[in-house]
Amino acid sequence: MSMGFISVPLVVFMIVVAPLWLILHYRSKRKSGEGLSGEDHQKLETLVARAEVMQERIATLERILDAEAPLWRQK
């Protein structure tokens, strides 16, 4: 009795769930290995440009603080 109770779900799992799971898993792995899409690449370029602008602004603010409050870095 217990053998049939375990074997039916196991067979269903091996025939239906396992192959589907493997197919979806390797499809997602292949898709993630392809790299960035065009839209993602554009977003990344936008973020890089914003980061460069922010870096320039921070450097400017640090120069202003160095001139007006030379000991600000020690606080």
Pair of tokens at residue 51: 């980061």
- Spell out the domain ranges in the chain: 1-34, 36-74
Q: What percent of the chain has pLDDT over 70?
A: 92
State pLDDT tens for residues 1-31. Answer: 456 667 777 888 888 888 898 999 988 888 7
| pTM, 2 dp | 0.50
CA–CA distance from 20 to each of 11, 13, 29, 38 (Å)? 14, 10, 14, 29
The two three-digit tokens of residue 70, written as one number:
């030379």
CA–CA gap between residue 29 and residue 9 (Å, rounded): 28
25-37 pLDDT, tens digit each:
988 888 777 777 7
